[in-house]
Chain A
Amino acid sequence: GESVGLHLPTLSVQEGDNSIINCAYSNSASDYFIWYKQESGKGPQFIIDIRSNMDKRQGQRVTVLLNKTVKHLSLQIAATQPGDSAVYFCAEDPGGSEKLVFGKGTKLTVNP
């Protein structure tokens, strides 16, 4: 079965607002997590990753938070722009095998 899932399949925000996309995972052995962005008809694009020995990691306008206690991962996008509209996937690597397990994705729509 699939061990990575999403709390919401769709998220709609206003331009300029902050977005939070959530992901739950069930495999406590997972030690590496990645967020991907996929625009329509294209391959997923790496956004940010985090290892299990960290709680937070920041990139440009994005922050990933990892709560290992409740097996929860979130992606925060600051000042969301129309170009951020896409499907966002979380992925986990159970046990460092370099075989990622992907969630179903959350479709983010940014309204101008």
Chain B
Amino acid sequence: DGGITQSPKYLFRKEGQNVTLSCEQNLNHDAMYWYRQDPGQGLRLIYYSQIVNDFQKGDIAEGYSVSREKKESFPLTVTSAQKNPTAFYLCASSISRGGSYEQYFGPGTRLTVT
């Protein structure tokens, strides 16, 4: 999984609780991303950060928050405001090289909220 770690692999929470998903990379990549994947669906962008201390909303940011205090870390908090939080969450990082870039993904965290 290219030097990106996500923990834990499985996470269970009760409805109404906030939960933070960890993402760490040792690839020295500037950009980091959070995606959500639902069964049989593609990946949808939640938040992304192209540099430390800066991040932007993706297509489905409502109910989520992030921070980027360190280059190697980009934690995602799923708040109680997220109406359908149960999903597979994927973190990624990328670096530009000569006009192209590869976006490497972590192994994912499967969050179940009941």
Taking CB atoms, residues of chain A closer than 8 Å to B48 are 99
Q: Is the interface of B mostly helix, strand, loop or mixed?
A: strand
Q: How many chain-A residues does the 8 Å CB contact rule pick out? A: 23
Q: How many chain-B residues does the 8 Å CB contact rule pick out? A: 28
Contact segment of A13-21, A59-67, A72-80, A102-110: A102-110
CA distance A2 to B100 in the complex (A): 22
Taking CB atoms, residues of chain B closer than 8 Å to A43 are 1, 4, 90, 92, 105-108
* Nearest Cβ on chain A to B114's Cβ, whole angstroms: 20
Taking CB atoms, residues of chain B closer than 8 Å to A32 are 100-101
Known A-B contacts A89-B42, A99-B45, A102-B43; the reply to A46 vs B104 at CB < 8 A is yes
Chain B residues numbered 63-114 whose CB sits less than 8 Å from any CB in chain A: 90, 92, 94, 96, 99-108, 110
